[in-house]
Structure 1
Amino acid sequence: MLKVYYPFNPHISRAMHRIRAALMKHAPPGVAFADDPREADLHVLDFIGQHPTIEDRELNPTTGLMRAVPSLPKCRNYVILYHCTAPPGSELLSMDYRPLFENARLVVSYLKPEWTWEWGKLDWSKVEYFHTPWGYEPETFRYGGESKDVLCLMTGYVDVTEGLRAVWWAARQVGGEVVHVGGSIGLDGEPGYKRYENVSDDLMRELYCRSEYVNAIRAHHGFEVVGIEGAACLAQPIYLDLPCYRHWFDDIGIFVDPDDVWDGLKRVFETRPKRENLAEKVKRFEWGKIAPRIWEEILKRL
């Protein structure tokens, strides 16, 4: 029996909670989960750019990473889920990540190393790496015939990297309404804007199903599970035109130029979403197909 330490962390994003739940649900026979790392054989570690030398800071001013996001493996064997890079200019890019990455049994990511920023001193050829998309649960996210009365659903807390105000502005140019699941960005009470926070899966599915589009913009190579979940509910995802998104989502998404986000979104909203065969295309991202491959790659390295 392989005992895995994969702790729940309330400070990480909803998307990372989804990934954790899926990997636990679809774990193969012979894998069990431990609450205490001292009783575990393997630690699954979420990586969003943090570095062990800043873990004791309450807030890293460059990236906004919370102290509670751990960056130190708690077991001798560990796997890194590499979710996103630090933004350009971050102090993290010059730090030494070699011990953390090169000693991992496996690094799992939707990114390819050549798509990431140049992490200081890290030689990717010395890192065990598995390239995979993340997924969605079809039992939870599916279209049920709801009326499409919302132009765009958006999620997140960081306006500058997630294009939140740009989405609202572009929607208002065409008379559309947006729904935002996330923290306040100073738009509460503005016309055409409604915000929710800490929503249930049932409400999230309803909002996807009512939306023509879902905003999946992330400005520094951050993955976005809402694009996949939204597509499963026939809300067409909008991505930045970057290789990491084109590779996985070229046939399901609409892409905007990173240097022309505001007007690019307006042009998108002036057209109709392209939902032909969207529900069929997104099925390749079902967690029941993706999670077993991730576990297979992990177990091969132990």
Structure 2
Amino acid sequence: MNSVAKSEGENLAVHFEIRFDPRYQTITTADVVDILTREIDPATSQYLNNLTIDSQSLEVQESLKALNAQVGQQTTVSTPPPTTTPPPPRRCTSLDLSYCKHLPYNVTSYPNILGHRSLADVEEDVIAFRELVDAECYRLAYDFVCQVLQPACISNQPEDLLQLPCRSFCREFWNGCGSRLPDKIKRLLDCSNFPEYADQGGCRAKPGCVQALQAKALSPRICDGVIDCPDLSDEKNCAYCRDGYMHCGVGRTCIPRGKRCDGKLDCANGSDEKDCRTYDW
């Protein structure tokens, strides 16, 4: 607000800055005039006591622009910040990429580990992956690529879960095809983000682990009490583990499969609670 005080012979413009909060009290023009009147009275003024000003000469004008700006500022301050809507829970959906129709499962979920949120997003990158498969840089490239683009989905509560390729599978793919990956995919395809063991849906191991051991003349590693395959297939169906039991990966200790991922350590090395994705510690 501006006030104009008229003295003899000339006009004296005096500018006052008055702030008030309309949330606590409504200030009228009469209130402002009363304040200014006290300030120009030599008996009460702290700043204009050396001047004689006729209080009847005061003219006070309201500035609607200033008033609206003040109210707008108060409104902005008092408005609570917007809340972030949490994403909907993950749900399984039909596998819809025709290139990966030969996978042994038919349900997947978005977003995948590469951040694709729809089939359209996947199709933008599928050509780069197909070139890797065609280049034969890794014998199982097709299986790995499709399990990354269209990962298996497992029904669960409160939301469904992705079943990614096992970490060792990812590393083998990187050893063969990593140098050919586009920079964008290299940044996203971090093998440390992949689970290590396959039992109870933790991850999907590369196919044929036991057969690979046999082909490499490593049959003594099968049922030797040490896990070599991420899906535990080299230590399953062994004479020292009864039906319905799983191997702990150390010695010949076996535990009931129902104790896998139950929140309690039953194996000495804790392998029965490793890479569990259905509960939080």
- Into which bin does the TM-score normalised by the smaller protein fall? under 0.3
Structure number with bigger Rg: 2
What's the TM-score once normalised by structure 2's chain length?
Answer: 0.27
| Structure with the larger RCO, 1 or 2 (CA within 8 Å, 6+ apart) | 1
Q: TM-score, normalised by structure 1?
A: 0.26
